[in-house]
Structure 1
Amino acid sequence: MKHPLFIKKQVKQEIQLGSAAVFWMSFPTVAVFYLEIKGHSKLHDMYQGSLGLSGVLLSIVGFLLFTDTCIYWIHRCMHHKAIYKYLHKQHHKFKIPTPFASHAFHPVDGFLQSLPYHLYPFIFPLSKMVYLSLFVFVNIWTISIHDGDYRIPGILIHIVNGAAHHVDHHLYFNYNYGQYFTLWDRLGGSYHYPSALMGKGPHDDIQKLE
């Protein structure tokens, strides 16, 4: 909160925007869930799965890779000049995000970026319990990459898109669009090694000022 780019009453604004977004996003989300419980998806009970533990693990990996790929391209499209100012700009108002910024989106922007989570079980078989667990996980992950804690095990720095990577996305705009991994940023030419891990991050700026 000491950083020059941390805006006045930012947390209050993040909470207000996030609360409104979650409210409006809940309507299309419930509609999709309704289709799922009515049997229009490929969700199944755990005991109906025929692949056992290996099948569960494979579905988790598939879910993460599928959603990471889709979200990368949806997120990148949100930065197109024809769309950005109408939708995604609200989220980028927060250059130094807090965990409350994790859901502070325009409702349409937020739902579009959550759409891959809903699409996956309509395309691929998935256990209901695994789906629920992953849905909780992705919300926790979204909070974690906005939490300002830039520590990440060294071996994972070039693989996992953590808070250190994502704060650079907020600061420098055209980098690190990924959700969990850095794969698509590398393939798409948008990867940026975290400034916070080079002694040039927000905490370092504060130390210099002090």
Structure 2
Amino acid sequence: MVDIALNIADEYIFDSIYARFYPISIPDNTTITNLQYSLPRDNIYRQFISLFILTNVFAYFFYFFFSTLSYIFVFDKELMKHPKFLKNQIRKEITLSATGFPITSLVTVPWFLGEVRGYSKLYDDINDYGFLYGIFSIILFLFFTDMCIYWIHRWLHHPLIYKNLHKPHHRWIIPTPYSSHAFHPLDGYLQSCPYHLFVYLFPLQKFIYIGLFVFVNIWTIMIHDGEYLSSGTFINGAAHHSLHHLYFNYNYGQYFTLWDKIGGSHRLPGEEQFDRKKKRDQKVWIKQSMEVDKFDENGKEKEE
């Protein structure tokens, strides 16, 4: 996936930039027929810089484009009247996200660099492993990353870790689409590691990887927009994740409730998560606020 994006960017953008800033020494009276640069495309330092730029561009684009679409067309803005919705919360969410992307990108680039340099198990032709494996790899990706993120997320709630890394994300007790990426940079990175690790452990076709990459980002926004897709007990959607933001110690999973059920951290959403009228009911908001107030600033339940 990344090598495709990098090749396109090299062809139309980076070649001319590197030719300008890192020109090759050319003897006088030599006719130049192509762009000449001293940093070839396969130079590891050039690749690192280029990938850092691309990672940031895609991070900002996906975040602002899809979060804004969700905010305009999906998010229930009545929830902004909830007593636990912070003053200027959306601006704070955007600020935390936007300032964190460069740091997250910096520590993420080595994964992409490994892919570009051929160390991952990404492959081009779907026929290399067959169509059925392609379908299976999607299912495997979802269950593998869900399992890993569950345990990483639960570890991030350990008192010694929570206050230093995960606490900023739990400022958003009533999340919006813009809170989807509003993490401490290292928190966001740690929870993204399973996606990158997967392609070093299991073969995955590149265009399937692109599709999953887009899906993961959209799903992350969707579970923060407050609007559920399923009222079932297997999908860890927005209703389940809203409870995680309200009550801290439940529903750590990303896509499914499987590991929450195994780990004893599953909490089934109530009717107020599904019924729009009850979701906007101020009596429900007061009850939720009282339950939230049972936890201290580090997400630990206060002693009676």
Provide TM-score, normalisation by structure 2. 0.64
Give the conservation status (yes or no) of the 8 Å contact 2:126–2:134.
no
1:146–1:166 contact (8 Å) kept in structure 2: yes
Of structures 1 and 2, the one scoring higher in RCO (CA 8 A, sep 6+) is 1
Match for 1:194 among 265, 269, 277? 269
Please give the alpha-carbon distance, in whole angstroms, between the structure 1 residues aligned to 2:115 and 2:81: 45
1:185 counterpart residue number? 260
Aligned to 1:65: 143
| 1:126-164 CA distance string (max 9 Å, x none) | 1111111111110100000000113x334xx11100000
Aligned to 1:129: 207
Gaps of 5+ in 1: none
1:205, distance to aligned residue in structure 2 (A): 3.7
RMSD between aligned residues: 2.0
Shift of 1:200: 10
Match of residue 175 from structure 1 = 250
How big is each residue's C-alpha offset from its partner over 1:41-100, in whole Å with a ceiling of 9 and x where there is no partner? 11110345232x211110000100000000000000000001000000000001000000
Q: What is aligned with 1:206? A: 282
Counterpart among 83, 86, 92 of residue 7 in structure 1: 86
Shift of 1:197: 4.0
User: Residue 153 of structure 2 aligns with which residue?
Assistant: 75
* CA–CA distance in structure 2, aligned partners of residues 189 and 201 of structure 1: 30
* Alignment: residue pair count: 206
What SS does the aligned partner of 2:163 have?
coil
Is structure 2 residue 114 aligned with structure 1 residue 35?
A: yes
Secondary structure class of the residue paired with 1:92: helix
Instruction: Work out which of the residue numbers 222, 233, 250 in structure 2 matches 1:144.
Output: 222
CA distance 1:42–1:208, shift in 2 (3 Å): closer
CA distance in 1, matches of 2:92, 2:209: 31
Query: Does the alignment pair 1:86 with 2:164?
Result: yes
Paired with 1:88 and 1:208, the residues of 2 have a C-alpha distance of 27
2:239–2:274 CA contact under 8 A, matched in 1: no
Residue identity matched to 2:181 = H
Question: Matched residues in 2 for 1:165 and 1:124: separation?
Answer: 29
Distance 2:91 2:269 in 1: 27
- Whichever residue aligns with residue 67 of structure 1, its letter is T
**Which one has a bigger Cα radius of gyration?**
2
Equivalent position SS for 1:63:
helix
Match in the other structure for 1:153: 230
Partners of 1:200 and 1:174 lie apart in 2 by 24
Distance 1:178 1:63 in 2: 14
* Equivalent pair of 1:147/1:163 in contact (CA under 8 Å): yes
Calculate percent identity across the aligned residue pairs. Answer: 54
Query: Residue 103 of structure 1 aligns to a residue in which SS?
Result: coil
Task: Give the Cα–Cα distance (whole angstroms) in 2 for the partners of residues 31 and 202 of structure 1.
Answer: 47
Taking structure 1 as the reference length, what is the TM-score of the superposition?
A: 0.92
Any residues of structure 2 matched to 1:104-115 within 5 Å, and which? 104-115=182-193
